[in-house]
Structure 1
C-alpha cells in the first residue's frame, strides 16, 4: 500500500483535490476532520481534557477550544500535557484508518495533512503530492472568502512554508490554476502511476 501525503497552502484548492482522490475510490484520512471529531460532542477528548484542564468541556461533551487555548498557549508544560492526551487519540484514529484500508486491500491511501512539511510528516509517507496554483490565483481565491483581508492572509502565509519550497520537495504537483477538469486529469495521472508502483511492489 502506497501512503501519499497531500498538502498545499491556503487557497491552493487542496480540499477540492482531496475530494477528487476520494471520487476515484482512494481512502482519504483528513487530519483536520479527525481533530474536530475527537474535540466534538461525544468525542473522546472532552472528558480527558476536562480532567486535566478543568473548565474546557461544554455541556454537550465538546471541547471549548478558546478556553483550552487560554490554559495552554505559551505554556510549554501545559502544552506537553495536552499533547500527551491528544496525540494517542489521533494515533488511534489513524491506526483504525490504516487497518480498514489494508482490510479493503487499497493500493493507495491519501493523508490530507495541511502542515505536512512544517511538522516533518513527509518522513512518514511514500510520496508527497503538493496542490499548487499561481500566487495571483491563490490570493484572489482567499481574499474572496468571508472575513478575509490582505493582512490576515499575509499572517497565514507567513506561518506556512513557501509554495516554491513545497513544490521543490514534492513527488507530484497538482496545479489547480488551470481549472477543475485539468486538475481532475492530473489526479488521475498521478493515481495511475501510484497504482502501478503499488502493483510492482507486490
Structure 2
C-alpha cells in the first residue's frame, strides 16, 4: 500500500482534489471530517473536551467559536486540546487503514501535514496549489472571513512555496477543472503504473 499525503493551504482547492481521488476509486481519509465527527453531536470526545474546557460543548457538539476563543493564543490550552483530539484521530486513521488494507493506494487528506509532522506517516506527498491572488479571492469569498482572519490563518501555515518544494507532486487548481482532474490521474498513474494493464 502506498500512503499519499494530500495537503494544501487554505483556499487552494484541496477538498475538490480529494473528491477527484475518491471518484477515481482511491480511498481517502479526511482528517478534518474525522475531527468534526468526533466533536459533533454525540461525538465521543465531547465529555473530555467539556471537562478540559467547561462550557464549550452542547447538544450540537463542540461550540467551535467558543472553544476557539478559549484556546486561541494559549499554547498550553492548545496542547491540552491536541492531547484529546490527536490520539482519537489516530484511532480513526488506524480503523480506516484496516478497512482498506487491500487498497494499493490510499490518500490522507491532512490540511496541516507539514505543520504537524504528518509527512513522516506517508510515503509520498501531493500539494494542491493555486496562485496567491486566486487563493485570496476564494478565501475572502467565504462567509465570515476577513482579511485579518485570512492573514492569521496563513501565518500558522507553512508557505505554499515551501510546501511545493517539499512535495513529490503539485496539483494545480487555478486551471480548468479538467486540467486538475488530469493532474490527479497522472499522480495515480505514477504511483500505480500497472493498474491500467
Please report the TM-score for the alignment, with normalisation by the length of structure 1.
0.86
Aligned to 2:161: 164
Which deviates more, 19-28 or 41-50?
41-50
Q: Distance in 2 between matches of 1:10 and 1:96?
A: 27
Aligned to 1:143: 140
Aligned to 2:87: 88
Pairing 1:1-202 to 2, within 5 Å after superposition: 1-58=1-58, 60=59, 62-69=61-68, 71-75=70-74, 77-102=76-101, 105-196=102-193
Q: 1:166: Cα distance to partner? A: 0.7
Q: Distance in 1 between matches of 2:69 and 2:140?
A: 29
Q: Per the alignment, in what secondary structure is the counterpart of residue 106 of structure 1?
A: coil
Q: Distance in 1 between matches of 2:145 and 2:73?
A: 26
- The answer to whether the 8 Å contact 1:12/1:131 transfers is yes
Larger Rg belongs to: 1
Q: 1:9: Cα distance to partner? A: 1.1
In structure 2, relative to structure 1, the CA distance for the partners of 1:85 and 1:136 (3 Å cut) is: closer
Please report the TM-score for the alignment, with normalisation by the length of structure 2.
0.88
More helix by share: 1
Q: Distance in 2 between matches of 1:147 and 1:168?
A: 32
- The answer to whether the 8 Å contact 1:43/1:61 transfers is no
Q: Per the alignment, in what secondary structure is the counterpart of residue 110 of structure 1?
A: strand
Unmatched segments (≥5 aa) in structure 1:
none
What are the superposed Cα offsets for residues 56-79 of structure 1, whole Å, 9 maximum, x if unpaired? 331x26223344445545555554
Q: Distance in 1 between matches of 2:136 and 2:65?
A: 28
Q: Distance in 1 between matches of 2:69 and 2:144?
A: 23
